[in-house]
Amino acid sequence: MNIKENSPFTPGTPVPVELFVGRDDQIPDIIRDVKQASSGKQKNVFLVGDRGIGKSSLVAFIRRMAITENNLIGIHVFLGGASSIEEVVHRILDQLLKETREQNWFEKIKPLFGNNIKEIGLFGVSVSFDASEPDLKDLARNFPDVLYNILQKIKEERVGLFIALDDINGLAENDEFANWYKSFVDEIASSYEKYPVFIMLTGLPEKRDALIACQPSIARIFKIAEINKLSDDEVKTFMHMAFEKANIKVEPEAMYLMVQYSSGLPILMHEIGDATFWIDSDGIIDVGDALNGVFAAAEQVGKKYLDPKVYRAVRSERYRSILRRFGELQIISSGFEKKDVEAKLTDPEKKVFHNFLRKMRDLGVIESDVEKGKGAYRFVNEIYPIYIRMESERFKSVRIKTLL
């Protein structure tokens, strides 16, 4: 029996910096801007990528470099659920307090927060920013000055500030946020000779477009860094490093299987790796462990990352057999043509296929592929076809076991 305590995989959270792989095309450009910011030139980057592609992990890696190699204060602010400028400012300042609480220069910036610091003594002392709504409105209105005054207090200890605003999707269609951010950047450019602040926003590609639609001039502010899937070699390197950290060996065939089903998506390689880690019982991952890990991961992916309506539709008896046909198509990851799928369907399946396509469109799973013409469709998110493939394989495995 192989006793285990902690998995090296982190589904749903940024990967530990020591296990970070890939993004060699984006990191040098981003770090170049970080260095410019540390010299006093305020810089803005918009990190774009689909869900589950590893945006937060890249942010965490860049943040570590900003702290260790460029002597910046680094804060990673999650904006999920935020819908107002005041909430954005509140979360930034709250995270800034938390990050600097243990620094010997914390007392230098503490007076700038006035009576708005709340200290909590439960399980050790921690701090939070507890400002009133009127105070937050004033802080938002004068935010360039707020950050500048903080940096002036600690300029002998830190050369600047790195701010990651992660998951701005809920704010992207907010005119007020778009106008506020543009005014923030414009005021810095016109009022400060040096302003050593680097800001990175992250979001979905369509949310960046929505933000620009709210304020077209904001397009010139950001350098765009777009990330896509990892290569198979990068996934393999990550898997090897993670299992090696746990002193677990992986047989080549098992590694190949996990890499193939990960499909270059960090969200999947963590789910598959984590499931396989807990399934293994002898410290050696073989093909059986890997297959069972893939099937277990498919269940988790469906529950955690698919909209409940999509999950129910995908698993409903009415459409399940059609989806299994999808799993048999090799072209599934890039989209499909209606006639190719119909050719594989039984007569009963063909009768409900039109309703199936309409249902999938209504749920936002597929959309018409205008470039490829009538009857062509593509998946809105790459996780959908991969999940369908995993579910199809899982069903075949269960069916085979039932027949044995």
In the predicted structure, residue 403 carries a pLDDT above the cut 50: no
Q: Encode pLDDT of 202-259 as tens digits.
A: 988 888 888 888 888 888 899 999 999 999 999 999 999 999 999 999 999 999 999 9
- pTM to 2 decimal places: 0.81
In a domain, 4, yes or no: no
Q: What is the CATH number of the domain that holds 364?
A: 1.10.10.10
Confidence class of residue 273 from pLDDT cuts 50, 70 and 90?
very high
Contact 307, 363 (CB under 8 A): yes
Average pLDDT, the chain: 85
Contact 347, 322 (CB under 8 A): no
Q: Give the range among 68-77, 113-122, 261-270, 352-361 with minimum mean pLDDT.
A: 113-122
Quick one: pLDDT band at residue 404, thresholds 50, 70, 90? Answer: very low
Would 6 be classed as within a structural domain? no
Enter the tokens of residue 143. Answer: 């935010």
Question: Is residue 322 domain-shared with residue 355, that is, in the same domain?
Answer: yes
In this structure, is residue 396 part of a structural domain? yes
207 with 255, same domain: the answer is no
Q: How far apart are CA 125 and CA 127, in angstroms?
A: 7
Among 170, 195, 226, the domain boundary falls at 226
Short-list 77, 98, 83, CA closest to 202: 77
Q: What is the CATH number of the domain that holds 278?
A: 1.10.8
Q: Are residues 94 and 211 both part of a single domain?
A: yes
Q: In whole angstroms, give the CA distance from residue 223 to residue 155.
A: 26
219 in a domain, yes or no?
A: yes
pLDDT at 378 over 50: yes
Do 256 and 124 lie in one domain? The reply is no
pLDDT, mean of residues 6-26 = 91
pLDDT (mean) for 176-203: 92
- Residue that terminates a domain, selected from 205, 226, 247: 226
What pLDDT score does 376 carry? 87
Q: Residues 310-338: pLDDT tens digits?
A: 667 666 666 777 777 776 665 556 678 88
The domain containing residue 371 runs over which residues?
Answer: 308-404
Residue at 16 is within a domain: no
Does one domain contain both 301 and 268? yes
Specify the pLDDT at position 112.
Answer: 82
- How many whole angstroms separate alpha carbon 113 and alpha carbon 82? 22
Q: How many domains does the chain have?
A: 3
- Please say whether the beta carbons of 78 and 168 come within 8 A: no
Range from 52-66, 106-120, 133-147, 273-287 carrying the lowest mean pLDDT: 106-120
Q: What is the mean pLDDT of residues 255-284?
A: 92
Residues 209 and 237 in one domain: no
Same domain for 39 and 125, yes or no, is yes
Whether 213 and 176 map to the same domain: the answer is: yes
**Chosen domain end from 197, 226, 255:** 226
What is the model's pLDDT at position 123?
A: 55
Q: What percent of the chain has pLDDT over 90?
A: 39
Q: What is the pLDDT of residues 113-134, one digit of tens each?
A: 777 777 665 555 567 777 778 8
Q: What is the CATH number of the domain that holds 121?
A: 3.40.50.300
Contact call for residues 120 and 127 (beta carbons, < 8 A): yes
- For residue 356, the SS3 value is helix
**Per-residue pLDDT at 20 exceeds 80:** yes
- The continuous run of DSSP H or E covering 165 comes out as strand 160-166
Percent of the chain with pLDDT over 70: 89
Same-domain pairing of 49 and 130: yes
In whole angstroms, give the CA distance from residue 234 to residue 269: 11
pLDDT of residue 247: 92
The pLDDT of residue 248: 94
Has residue 7 been placed in a domain? no
Confidence of residue 307 (pLDDT cuts 50, 70, 90): low
The tens digit of pLDDT for each residue in 23-61 reads: 999 999 999 999 999 999 999 999 999 888 889 999 999
Mean pLDDT for 145-174 is: 89
Tell whether 2 is covered by a domain.
no
If asked whether residues 54 and 129 sit together in one domain, one would say: yes
- Walk across the sheet containing 336-337 and list its strands: 336-337, 376-379, 366-368
| One domain for residues 191 and 333 | no
**pLDDT above 80 (res 303):** no
pLDDT at 206: 86
Question: pLDDT, tens digit, for every residue of 342-376?
Answer: 888 888 888 888 888 888 888 888 888 888 888 88
In a domain, 268, yes or no: yes
214 in the same domain as 81:
yes
